[in-house]
Copies of this chain bind each other. A is one copy, B any other.
Amino acid sequence: MADIASRIEEANALVLKRILEADPLWVDLRPAKEVVPGMTENTILHAGPPVRWERMAGPMKGAVAAALLFEGRASTPAMALEMAASGDIRFSPCHEHDAVGAMAGVISPSMPVFAVRNRTLGNTAFCAWRDLGQASGCFDEETVDKMHWIHDVGMPALRAAVLERGGLEIKPLWARGLLMGDEHHNRVSAGTSIFTRMMAPAMARAVEDRQALAELFDYLANFDLAIVPLTMAGCKAVMNGAHNVEASTVVTAIARNGVEVGIRVSGLGDRWFTGPAQLVKGIYHPGFSEADACPDLGDSAIIETTGFGGCAIAAAPTHVTVRDEPGAALRYTQEMYEITLGKNPSYPIPALGFQGVPTAIDIRRVVESGILPIVDTPIAHKEAGRFRGVIGFGMSRPPMECFEGALTAFADRYLD
């Protein structure tokens, strides 16, 4: 036992070091099929742990339909749903392809993905540029048109800019955003502003089509959440760098498919440990309530896994989920220090005396303390196509089964 304890300690120290030293650089923006490992013309990726078509949540089915319409594989929603159910499409979790996707997390071959390279270790990760309609399961004409705009206008323009700039360093973006009240998951309006300001010179130099340039600036000006996919790709690049360290008990992914929540653990390879997805207590937009909500959905909890989002909510006291409850933001983050192994000095939180964000969730600490990670999450409607966008924001927790299952598997593997 002493032997395994020190082995775990050593492994976790290495994992923590890899997270703290990770240096994500946004390098490219290309169609998924050109860069995402294992992506084929017939593959569609989705959020969370594996799930068959029949069991998929409403918004995920809707997002698949939107993807098939966007790809030109179907010309009506009915045809798209039929094709999805036919067995001809290979569905696979984003996380099994070095990728992540927001909300439904559906990525089809032609969709643009942000490619972020972790310069410390050389690994690259991807996240789809989401249209909020498609991400939340809509498949109407407006949604598909927007997906085409992102592909035809947005991608070439923004790609030209990032190549012109020689990449964009993500660490300063995260550090500065945190000092401006962002937690990087749903309160990201500072980050989107900083991103625009940092990228604008290269955009002006690289984009010759003035109309495209103006439309891209419109998109950035009008959509506060614009940089979330870039942040997600960055977090995935960081956490993939920390994955697959033998004997480590650190969580390297938390992901939700609307039916189940799954986690992965650094020392336990690519296995998923799952439990049922919960409904999210939160602030719903007028006209919606928990009764309309899809249970916990999306790969975006990779943000929490990296130390932001719910973990860093103390930095974001103005965010809707904590704004009306004095002290809540501080309490959530302080709780997260109980289940993490370190603090990331690159990302200090002013309201906590400039302590770094809680970093490296340990499955042992979660099970021992009974404290579950907190995820600051957007909420989708449970029925596909009912609402273009999120119907609210809330704080969710993955089920304890995930951590108990992982700890049991860890014991099976390392204590025998």
Report how far A196 CA is from B220 CA in the complex, Å: 11
Does A193 lie at the interface of the complex (its beta carbon under 8 Å from any beta carbon of B)? yes
A198 and B213 contacting across the interface, CB-CB below 8 Å: no
Copies of this protein in the complex: 2
Partner pick for A189 among B176, B201, B220, CB 8 A cutoff:
B176
Q: CB-CB contacts of A132-173 with B at 8 A, as 1s and 0s?
A: 000000000000000000000000000000000000000000
For the complex, what is the distance from the CA of A206 to the CA of B19, rounded to whole Å?
Answer: 44
Instruction: Decide if A14 is an interface residue (CB 8 Å cutoff).
Output: no
Binary CB contact string for chain A from 187 to 221 against chain B (1 if under 8 A, 0 otherwise): 00110111011101101110010100110011011
Is A27 engaged at the interface, CB distance under 8 Å to the other chain?
no
Q: A217 to B201, Cβ gap below 8 A? A: yes
CB distance from A393 to the nearest CB of B (A): 16
Which of chain B's residues has its CB closest to A315's CB?
B181
Known: A317-B350, A350-B318. A200 touches B220 (CB 8 A): yes
The B-contacting residues of A in range 11-65, CB under 8 angstroms, are none
| Shortest Cβ gap from A250 to chain B (Å) | 30
| From B198, B214, B220, contact of A205 by CB (8 A) | B214
Q: Is B190 in contact with A197, judged by CB distance below 8 angstroms?
A: no
Interface residues, chain A, CB within 8 Å of chain B?
A: 176, 179-181, 189-190, 192-194, 196-198, 200-201, 203-205, 208, 210, 213-214, 217-218, 220-221, 317-318, 326, 350-351, 353
